Amino acid sequence: MKTAKPEIKFRYLRKDEVTLMTDYRIEFLKELQGTHSTEKEQMLRKELTSYFEKSLSDENYIAVTAEIDGNPAGFGGMVIQQIPGNFKLISGREGYILSMYTLPGFRKMGIAGGILDKLVKKGRELGLGKISLHASAEGFPIYKKYGFKEPVMPVLEIK
């Protein structure tokens, strides 16, 4: 006998939910980068809180959560940035999706795809000429299925 698939509700996070955004981002980073000292986590929490408060007020950040039975199950965000325009991106407005995170007990239920769909649709509504992201090994198939392609020019970094 199959159990009923739970109903997943997706919604945009509000300015008064900065603590939730910060918590999700930290959980995502712990899984990606490992745990760090309490002092370092507190410093990061302070910076993230400040970032989300400012970015939400400036409308430069969009956050989506997935909930099952009123409980958080996943999260994703998109930074909206302005760069100088070019021939492929005249307006210079682009989105960068990050912090795609599904809580371990809710994975493989379509949550990441639902969050991604909501973020991309919002980006299209806002007239963003480009939406990009960095993909983990687990996320790569989802993003590729959705239509994301590897860049023609790779990104180089200096640290």
* DSSP code string of 75-98: EEEEEEEE----SS-SS-EEEEEE
Side-chain half-sphere exposure of 85, counting CA atoms within 13 A: 6
Tokens of 66: 């997935």
pLDDT of amino acid 3:
64
Global pTM value: 0.88
Strand 8-12's sheet: what is its strand order? 8-12, 61-68, 71-82, 93-102, 130-133
pLDDT of amino acid 78:
97
pLDDT of amino acid 98:
94
pLDDT (tens place) for every residue of the chain, 159 residues total: 566 678 999 999 999 999 999 999 999 999 989 999 999 999 999 999 999 999 999 999 999 999 999 999 999 999 999 999 999 888 899 999 999 999 999 999 999 999 999 999 999 999 998 999 988 888 888 899 888 988 887 778 888
Q: How far apart are CA 44 and CA 5, in angstroms?
A: 36
pLDDT of amino acid 106:
93
pLDDT of amino acid 158:
87
Tokens of 39: 């002092």
pLDDT of amino acid 151:
82
> What domains are defined for the chain?
8-146 (3.40.630.30)
